[in-house]
Structure 1
Amino acid sequence: MGGTRVIYQEGKKEASISINNQDSSAPYLIQSWLESAVSGDKRPVPFIVTPPLFRLDPEKSSVLRISYTGAPLPEDRESVFWLDIKSIAPSNPDGGNQLQVNIKSKFKLFYRPSGLDGNPLEAYKKVTFRRQGNQLIAHNPTPYFVSFYKVSIGGHEIKNPGMIPPKGDSQWGLSGGSTVSWQAINDFGGVTEVARQVI
């Protein structure tokens, strides 16, 4: 895949992500679709991906194009969806019993309205932390999602810190310590510098 996330900027005709088949001999069927990032939400998402199903020959590449259908989305903050991509391996009819593995990957699709305040690449620095009882609570005052790469307090790393929504909170059990350090994943899939705060 040509990235770990897709940013769809409001006003653009489409967003895209490239796919490469690095196998030297086998073609794959590539199936892709979009779904809500909210578990259990079966409502149609306001995007379509083309082509939804195609053959990708050995050592070839292609591009998935994502278009916005225009259905209303919040204008004061980002929205997030899942882009699902499944690679279906060929089967050998003369191969007898064999295990066939199909791989499905999930990528974040962020819809970014125009005119949002602040710089999305600096949003992680705006996150603040506080102690509340035995909980560590993070607050994101920005209109951007912040995908944590790592969060540690007192040198103890929090497992799977996840993503904090725009103008929202996340919380984890507190293991002691007074200094929080964190890194995030930026628009390009890279890891930011470390930010720190004493709570």
Structure 2
Amino acid sequence: MNRLTTILIMSLALSGGPSALAAGGLSLAQTRVVYPGDKSSIALGVNNSSQHDVWLLRGWVAEAESQQKSSAFVVTPPLYRLDAGNEVQLRINALNTAALPADRESLFYLNVLAIPPTAEPTPSSQGDTHGNVSFAINTRIKLFYRPAAIVDNQAVKAAYSQIRAYPDPRGVGVTLHNPSPYYLTLNATQIDRREAQGKGQDFMLAPYGELTIAHRGQAREISYQVIGDYGGRSTRYTITPLPSAGRSTHAE
């Protein structure tokens, strides 16, 4: 009897709360990772709540643009068998972060690939070929490297209200500007109290960067929440009026 096993990889890019992480009994303790530059390593918990499934875990950090494996970090252990009902603390270790910018955050993606054990073939007549399809689950979350010089929780939270907005000069929307050295990920963004951010849309402002949100007509105000270091949502901030030079940002 010939046996053919096919493993398909299902990729999950996560931005929701911990409940959104469960897949095949697996869950990550966080929906994002902030790596402080003054630490040599940090931990990420992975839990297997299944009563019977066993998974082989492999973790790595990828570059944001190329998605190629990064040389700046290594995840240990390199391969781990996670039995049913157990959990493990994966460690993310800094290897080569000296070349990263020291005045602003850098973005990476942490991947945790869960590979199922190969299923046993079902009894069959001799000579039959049976194909077994298994799903490997690759969970991907953002990893923000925060240099030691800007590790400051108060400064991070202050940046939430520092976003500025103005009409896009091309007349296609509203442009947001981030004057801070931190990545700011927005949630439930509204323009003139109407939803401007669709479900699953990633509105992320790079350090000192800009993001243009499509909008027709003259915008009067824009409001948003910011997803914090641990995945929680901030209070809602409103920028009004637009596009006055005297615009202000305030929290509701």
The equivalent residue for 1:163 is 204
The equivalent residue for 1:102 is 136
1:26-81: CA deviation from partner (whole Å, max 9, x where unpaired): 1111111111111x364743111111211100010001111111341101101110
The equivalent residue for 2:163 is 127
The CA RMSD over aligned residues, in Å, is 1.8
1:110-160: CA deviation from partner (whole Å, max 9, x where unpaired): 111123276213322111111122221010000100011221102132231
- State the identity as a percent: 30
Q: What is the aligned residue count? A: 198
Could you list the runs of 5+ residues in structure 1 that have no partner in the other structure? none
**Residues 175, 52 of structure 1: CA spacing in aligned structure 2 closer, same or farther, 3 A cutoff?**
farther
Partner of 1:119, secondary structure, is helix
Could you list the runs of 5+ residues in structure 2 that have no partner in the other structure? 1-27, 123-129, 243-252
2:141 is the alignment partner of 1:79: no
Give the distance between the partners of 1:106 and 1:172, measured in 2 at CA: 25
The alpha-carbon deviation at position 97 of structure 1 amounts to 4.4
1:136 to 166, 174, 180: 174
Q: Is the contact between residue 188 and residue 195 of structure 2 (CA under 8 Å) also seen in structure 1?
A: no
Farther off after superposition, 113-122 or 10-19: 113-122
The aligned amino acid for 1:79 is S
The aligned amino acid for 1:129 is A
Give the distance between the partners of 2:190 and 2:33, measured in 1 at CA: 27
Partner of 2:160, secondary structure, is helix
TM-score, length-normalised on structure 1? 0.92
Larger CA Rg, structure 1 vs 2: 2
2:30 is the alignment partner of 1:3: yes
Q: Is the contact between residue 82 and residue 109 of structure 1 (CA under 8 Å) also seen in structure 2?
A: yes
The aligned amino acid for 2:196 is E
Q: Is the contact between residue 182 and residue 206 of structure 2 (CA under 8 Å) also seen in structure 1?
A: yes
**Residues 102, 41 of structure 1: CA spacing in aligned structure 2 closer, same or farther, 3 A cutoff?**
closer
Q: Is the contact between residue 7 and residue 15 of structure 1 (CA under 8 Å) also seen in structure 2?
A: no
TM-score, length-normalised on structure 2? 0.73
The equivalent residue for 1:152 is 190
Give the distance between the partners of 2:68 and 2:132, measured in 1 at CA: 34
Give the distance between the partners of 1:183 and 1:45, measured in 2 at CA: 33
Q: Is the contact between residue 196 and residue 213 of structure 2 (CA under 8 Å) also seen in structure 1?
A: no
Give the distance between the partners of 1:99 and 1:178, measured in 2 at CA: 53
Farther off after superposition, 182-191 or 99-108: 99-108
Give the distance between the partners of 1:136 and 1:103, measured in 2 at CA: 37
2:149 is the alignment partner of 1:115: yes
Give the distance between the partners of 2:184 and 2:139, measured in 1 at CA: 20
The aligned amino acid for 2:84 is P
2:90 is the alignment partner of 1:69: no
The alpha-carbon deviation at position 91 of structure 1 amounts to 2.6
The aligned amino acid for 2:79 is L
Give the distance between the partners of 1:35 and 1:100, measured in 2 at CA: 24
